[in-house]
Structure 1
Amino acid sequence: MTTRRDFFKNLGMAGGAVAAASVSSVALAALPELVSMDNPDTASPLTPPNGRPYNPVVTLNGWTLPWRMNNGVKEFHLVAEPVVREIAPGMKAHLWGYNGQSPGPTIEVVEGDRVRIFVTNRLPEHTTIHWHGQRLPSGMDGVGGLNQKQIPVGKTFVYEFVARRPGTFMYHPHADEMTQMAMGMMGFWVTHPKERHPLIETVDRDFCFLLNAYDIDPGSYTPKVNTMLDFNLWTWNSRSFPGIDSLNVRKGDKVRIRIGNLTMTNHPMHLHGHEFVVSGTDGGPTPIGSRWPEVTTDVAVGQMRQLDFLADEEGDWAFHCHKSHHTMNAMGHDVPTMIGVDHRGVVKQITDLIPDYMVMGERGMADMGEMEMPIPDNTLPMMTGQGPYGAVEMGGMFSVLKVRRDQKPGDYRDPGWYKQPKNTQAYEWTGPVAAATRSHDAGKGAMRPAGKAQSQEVVVRKPGSHGQH
């Protein structure tokens, strides 16, 4: 983590005179301290040092932006800039983000807070920030050309408004949006209720993350911003499994997971072992009467979903998008299906020309998770991640909810793999196996007698009133 002093020192070494000259020395001295982060691990929750108290969230593979109080106003400093983000160990991407990371830091405030956000632009083009889902003055809504002038390169703009309602929100550019969001510019915003709310239950663990996606060619670093749907990296907070941290909770905890979707498609989010209710959207908390138990809920483009559940089943439970291609990395979508194709006649001829050639998909794709096929540098395997019993054969939008009875309250450390109690795990059957029933035996009474098939003419009779048809 770096401070404002480090930032402006480095900025000056890299031609930062343009940025420094964009605001007066008085305004520059008045800017809140710049805090930056380059660690991809999940940071501890930020306990509020001042202002109204609240129960802080934990941003999966992210962090919460500190603030300062200035005459009763919470002041934050965001810097839009190019960043390097580790998607998972073995791969980094050159993205755009805020304060050293993509997504940017989570902003946490309390209902009724007056907030002031200083936004410094270090991108190679202009930008803005839209506060997705907020009630605020039109001139603070952040749509470039409609509500405000674009923030030029090197300039700092100020947004100021009151956080009028509690809920789960996002921030992202509304300037060259296709490019800037495809490059990773987005962040999470949580407004906590100022007092006990009839529709917002107090929870023990509160997680949040954004769904995003990238199209990065194997061996390269920069996303292809013109891609519409054919993405090859599906991520949570710009991380792919096994780079996504687990969600570690104590058995009996009330848990909330806040999810925002800024990809180009919907994501049916599925939790194993538990039922949840959708307790909130970006429109606010949902009425009690509209909630029902689910294990999968769809999060459409531009939506937020807030999931509440009781973690009452101990174990390691998968949590993932249920679109199967979204739990894979670096997929080649145009590869033909080779299941059942006998390669034996050509493998030797091919390996004489290409010694590293490996048969792909002859018996399905599971073998690919265990093969060590040569791949370009800075590229993730298609399926990866090891569990206590072998390859997990997942990637992309996948993580694990770890529920433990001995996890201490407020302890977010990874407890390791779950040890299955005796007689509670699937096992191999070693007894006799009954012979398979054949269809001609099972369907005797319903099958037609063998013999020569009889032809039958089908006659269609039309009602008299339809004679002209």
Structure 2
Amino acid sequence: MTTNRRRFLTGTAGVATAAAAASISKVAMAALPEPITQSSPDTMPPLVPDTGRPYTPVVTLNGWTLPWRMNNGVKEFHLVAEPVVREMAPGFKAHLWGYNGQSPGPTIEVVEGDHVRIFVTNKLPEHTSVHWHGQRLPNGMDGVTGLTQAGIPPGKTFVYEFVARRPGTFMYHPHADEMTQMAMGMMGSWITHPKSRHPLIDEVDRDFVFLLNAYDIEPGSYTPKIMTMLDFNLWSWNSRVFPGIDSLNVRLNDKVRIRIGNLTMTNHPMHLHGHEFLVTGTDGGPTPKSTRFHEVTTDIAVGQMRQIEFLADEEGDWAFHCHKSHHTMNAMGHDVPTMIGVEHRGVVKQITKLIPDYMVMGERGMADMAEMEMPLPDNTAPMMTGDGPFGSVEMGGMFSVVKVRRGQKRGDYSDPGWYPHPAGTVAYEWTGALPDPARAYGAGRSSMPRRQQPSKDVEVKVRKPANHGGHDH
């Protein structure tokens, strides 16, 4: 089903105000806001408010913003917790749990001081709840099953109601069978915009948001392994893996804000190429200006939000990714031995007599994997994939591109294509003579001698691959 962008009916039929722990009666169900769903994995345009207080909306990377209705001054939303099918990359779909047709669920945007009412309908096979991560609210609306509320049974609808008391970047997720439900993809972003100009929150030209999440889905299968604690094989942004992650398209000299939340099982050092940024906010709110300093990588721990801002003043296609190298790979076997420098072509000839499709892997590193047309199971993504203007990008997982363009129009989030590099600004092959390398012969000794010296010096021999550019071996 495609996005239904119709605004909710604004009728004011009576809806009984209920605590989070009380289900909705059949009479009140008739007045529920219409549940809007979305199945497209593309980045949807920002949802400009036409009711309630105005604000500059965010863009959810490979996601969308949930519409609302105004009911006697209350901003009402309807979340539906349900099984979903999420396309993680072209040709690769996963059976997840999420909200309103997608995982993660839609972004909720409100304004500081808004009276918010969220109807949550449970279409899962077990009870659930919603915790509003980072919010100041009444204790009974905090969404912890057994502690602050009863779980929402399958088929029932509960109401959460509170005032959005402070601006910032937050998220929502269950606190019911959390190990299963979050491993299956149940989460979403929440943005509270300031009600007026704020001394610590600058206005920006582009405002993006996404969540970091991870899955263990074996190649050829569809459902995550919920018992996995650390050994995940799919590291994703908003349940998408590169090259399925859209680029972040901005205009030259735009001030850009990117809001990132981490609901994986480990930290992620997020790194932006070509620019420096400031960390201007966390899920605790905007950071004091005295604490801000420029950096190009910021670490986001589990359960944290980080808000970064930068001036996009360098044209080009700039990589943006987690700096943990295995987090920029797709499904891969973690028990594969290192074969670099091992000559096994003779063995391969014998193996291919029994297994015709067998291929040598890792003898010269793993880059060859990106070029191999290796048979894959029906439902999976290649380990390294994505074609750039100069060939294979050899990346997967938590990787995308910030595209900065002089000609990008204000409010235009469409992909401008690859950057046309000016003449003389691309790295090139040197074909001239190479100078002799400078060597240091006066290297110092160790700080103290070893107690037992080897009987003779050990010489390490390096085997380099054939056709090594004519250099000495």
Q: Which residue type is aligned with residue 414 of structure 1?
A: D
d(CA) in 2 for partners of 1:182, 1:125: 15
Shift of 1:29: 1.5
Output aligned runs, 1:215-364, within 5 Å: 215-364=216-365
1:77 corresponds in structure 2 to: 78
**Cα contact 1:199–1:288 (8 A) shared by 2:** yes
Report how many residues are paired. Answer: 433
Shift of 1:305: 0.1
Shift of 1:369: 0.4
Higher Cα Rg: structure 1 or 2? 1
1:172 equivalent in alignment to 2:173:
yes
Shift of 1:434: 2.4
d(CA) in 1 for partners of 2:311, 2:30: 47
Give runs of ≥4 in structure 1 deviating > 3 Å.
2-5, 22-25, 445-448, 455-458
2:190 corresponds in structure 1 to: 189
Shift of 1:26: 2.2
d(CA) in 2 for partners of 1:306, 1:430: 45
| Aligned-partner SS, 2:118 | strand
Give the alignment's TM-score, normalised by structure 2.
0.89
Shift of 1:25: 3.8
Stretches of structure 2 that go unaligned for 5 or more consecutive residues are 7-22, 454-473
Alpha carbons of structure 1 residues 338 and 52: separation in structure 2 relative to 1, 3 Å: same
* CA shift digits 1:237-296 (9 cap, x unpaired): 000000000000000100000000000000000000000000000000000000000000
1:420 corresponds in structure 2 to: 421
Alpha carbons of structure 1 residues 140 and 350: separation in structure 2 relative to 1, 3 Å: same
d(CA) in 1 for partners of 2:63, 2:218: 25
d(CA) in 2 for partners of 1:329, 1:229: 15
d(CA) in 1 for partners of 2:443, 2:99: 68
Output aligned runs, 1:133-212, within 5 Å: 133-212=134-213
Give the alignment's TM-score, normalised by structure 1.
0.90
Q: Which residue type is aligned with residue 211 of structure 1?
A: L
| Aligned-partner SS, 2:434 | coil
1:90 equivalent in alignment to 2:108:
no
**Cα contact 2:167–2:285 (8 A) shared by 1:** yes
1:401 equivalent in alignment to 2:388:
no
Shift of 1:436: 4.3
| Aligned-partner SS, 1:30 | coil
d(CA) in 2 for partners of 1:208, 1:457: 58
**Cα contact 1:279–1:308 (8 A) shared by 2:** yes
Alpha carbons of structure 1 residues 365 and 73: separation in structure 2 relative to 1, 3 Å: same
d(CA) in 2 for partners of 1:220, 1:417: 34
d(CA) in 2 for partners of 1:176, 1:97: 14
* CA shift digits 1:90-125 (9 cap, x unpaired): 100000000000000000000000000000000000
d(CA) in 2 for partners of 1:258, 1:25: 39
* CA shift digits 1:192-250 (9 cap, x unpaired): 00000000000000000000000001100000001000000000000000000000000
Shift of 1:24: 3.9
Identity of aligned residues (%): 81
d(CA) in 2 for partners of 1:392, 1:348: 30
Stretches of structure 1 that go unaligned for 5 or more consecutive residues are 6-21, 449-454, 459-469
Alpha carbons of structure 1 residues 428 and 225: separation in structure 2 relative to 1, 3 Å: same
d(CA) in 2 for partners of 1:403, 1:74: 36
d(CA) in 2 for partners of 1:140, 1:23: 15
d(CA) in 2 for partners of 1:382, 1:54: 41
**Cα contact 2:129–2:174 (8 A) shared by 1:** yes
Q: Mean alpha-carbon deviation: is it higher for 213-222 or for 427-436?
A: 427-436
Shift of 1:28: 1.7
1:15 corresponds in structure 2 to: none
Q: Which residue type is aligned with residue 339 of structure 1?
A: I
d(CA) in 1 for partners of 2:452, 2:272: 55
**Cα contact 2:74–2:117 (8 A) shared by 1:** yes
1:46 corresponds in structure 2 to: 47
**Cα contact 2:4–2:38 (8 A) shared by 1:** no
| Aligned-partner SS, 1:255 | strand
| Aligned-partner SS, 1:369 | helix
| Aligned-partner SS, 2:30 | helix
d(CA) in 2 for partners of 1:364, 1:426: 22
d(CA) in 2 for partners of 1:117, 1:402: 36
Alpha carbons of structure 1 residues 23 and 141: separation in structure 2 relative to 1, 3 Å: closer
**Cα contact 1:76–1:118 (8 A) shared by 2:** yes
**Cα contact 1:122–1:153 (8 A) shared by 2:** yes
